[in-house]
Structure 1
Amino acid sequence: MTTASCDHPLDRRSFRAIADLAYRESGLTLVKEKSSMIQSRLRPRLKVLGLRDFAQYSAFVQSDAGEDERKQLISALTTNVTHFFRESHHFATLGNVLDARMDDLRKGARMRIWSAGCSNGQEAYSAAISLLERCPEAAQYDLRILATDIDPQVIAFARRGKYGERLMAGVSEPLRDGYFDAERDRKGERQFTVKPEVKNLIHFNELNLLSAWPMRGSFDVIFCRNVVIYFDVATQTSLWPRFLKALRPTGHLFLGHSERIATPEAIGFCSDGPTSYRPL
């Protein structure tokens, strides 16, 4: 498509069409108060596609030809803000889970962790480092982390495992030295690349939480933090039983600091500390 001017504001009809599509595709709830944010994040997509206004864009993104653009739309509207070892109490619990499973692991049992909505990968790498700190020989066991996100761009970023100094907040100097390779880029800024022994514990994959989950087997720990906050109550309510079914009877579900299961007992969960839940 050719380059075109796209200075027209986001009109009401186009907003509604885009909001409805985002909800259908990903469960993302967009409110009219966020129109300015939506407009600013999507305007570059109009320029890339050479579209004149949001009416053209909304028509295109809903068409058969716009299938790939729907992924770009979700990517543009999703906020991928996270950092290493966020909410450290969850990683302390993860370490305790590992300790409790060590005898089973030595006998050949499997242990699985799922980072659902892994964003740029800091959560999954934090989990892997936490496991390696407790068990340096973790790779010898059937112990793996699945990290998924709806956004293919952040999955690609996470697979690279390369972070600038600004993104390394929360990582102590000993952990930087032990689990990252440091170098300087052309601007002289330090870059940190996750070492292979950490990456090898993780499988990154694209996944929409609202679609079918292809994973077999159950998880010892599921991280789903700062994800459901973007969903409405109905979508959240539909997810809790699915997470419960995906957990081992002794498993843990971790949510973000501002997320809660309203009535956990009614679903089959019990509270197990701050934003942590276990099957009843």
Structure 2
Amino acid sequence: MEQGEVSLSEREFSRIKNRVYSVAGISLSDAKRTLVVSRLSKIVRSLGLSSFDAYVDYLEKGAKTEDGQAFVNALTTNLTRFWREDHHFDHLRDHVAQLIADKPRGSRLRIWSAGCSTGQEPYTIGMDLLSALPELKRWDFKILGTDIDTAVLAKAASGTYPESELSGLSPQRARLIEKPVDGMIRVPDAVRNLVSFKPLNLMQQWPVKGPFDAIFCRNVAIYFDKPTQGAVFGRFNSLLAPEAFLYIGHSENLGSGGEGFKLVGKTIYQNRAKPQKREAA
């Protein structure tokens, strides 16, 4: 055991699994035991507590809001990058181009990145669409990025990243990001101004307004059990515009939440609802 780590009994591990499931919907497998010890030990020590039992007791009996949030932040996983699973962005580009063709200039376009982590996904959406469809500058175009982890949202809002984030990007895509300064790159203001970041727990109320023309929720549901996955995807359906799209992770499926969707591409689902026809005057 590393310096500063706290020993974890089976009962304590069970209590932690139950706690993170109840507050965040995250289903921890037994394989995550080492991760729990390494990520939570420092917090337990910093609070002056002697055991994980004492820590869970503290969380359950009037912990400060920030301490409850720190528990969730420590147990979330935040792997992301620019243009991850880029076939989704190819599809979104075609979808938005069709909306532009069908709707008048200045129309409303809303896209939600749920589980946005450190922000690369919503920023990719903005950079990709603005570069391909510059007429969007004359639209009411906004992107919402949400995550349960407040620490990653703070990083996302800064819009700055290590230069290493450019690794693997084509020269055309890399040019969309401002040149590195002191080893850091920066998302252009025109894109940053499109994106709003807000904390949101998918297990609680969603203070968001639809309809959305697209929702990205990729590699988030893999941390949920099947009933939770179905419930979340079903809620997304109710917030999508008719015939709008949901993009999920490569290893995910909608399960019981798929009733309102049809599969139209690799991990791309379309809302089955049809637009209402306007009655003749």
> One fold, TM greater than 0.5?
yes
Residue matched to 1:164: 162
| Partners of 2:212 and 2:147 in 1: CA distance | 17
SS at match of 1:259: coil
| Partners of 2:193 and 2:104 in 1: CA distance | 19
Residue matched to 1:227: 220
1:211 aligns with 2:209: no
| Partners of 1:170 and 1:63 in 2: CA distance | 47
SS at match of 1:64: coil
- Report matched runs for 1:169-248 at 5 Å: 169-184=167-182, 190-248=183-241
Residue matched to 2:264: 272
Residue pair 1:41, 1:77 contacting (<8 A) in 2 also: yes
Following superposition, the deviation at residue 176 of structure 1 comes to 2.8
Residue matched to 1:187: none
Letter matched to residue 42 of structure 2: P
Residue matched to 1:111: 109
Residue matched to 1:39: 37
| Partners of 1:216 and 1:7 in 2: CA distance | 43
Letter matched to residue 162 of structure 2: G
More displaced, 164-173 or 90-99?
Answer: 164-173
Following superposition, the deviation at residue 105 of structure 1 comes to 5.1
| Partners of 1:59 and 1:66 in 2: CA distance | 13
Residues 108 and 8 of structure 1, relative CA distance in 2, 3 Å threshold: closer
Letter matched to residue 228 of structure 2: T
Q: Which runs of 4+ in 1 moved over 4 A?
A: none
Residue matched to 1:16: 14
SS at match of 2:96: helix
Count of aligned residue pairs for this structure pair: 270
TM-score by length of 2: 0.90
Residue pair 2:6, 2:41 contacting (<8 A) in 1 also: no
Residues 167 and 107 of structure 1, relative CA distance in 2, 3 Å threshold: closer
Residue pair 1:226, 1:256 contacting (<8 A) in 2 also: yes
Following superposition, the deviation at residue 34 of structure 1 comes to 1.6
SS at match of 1:270: strand
What RMSD, in angstroms, separates the aligned Cα atoms of the two structures?
1.8
Deviations 1:74-108 (A, max 9, x none): 11111100111011110001101110111455433
Following superposition, the deviation at residue 8 of structure 1 comes to 3.5
Residues 179 and 36 of structure 1, relative CA distance in 2, 3 Å threshold: closer
Residues 227 and 212 of structure 1, relative CA distance in 2, 3 Å threshold: same
Residue matched to 2:99: 101
TM-score by length of 1: 0.91
Residue pair 1:148, 1:204 contacting (<8 A) in 2 also: yes
Residue pair 2:177, 2:185 contacting (<8 A) in 1 also: no
SS at match of 1:157: helix
Residue matched to 2:133: 135
What stretches of structure 2 of length at least 5 have no aligned partner?
Answer: 273-281
Percent identity, aligned pairs only? 38
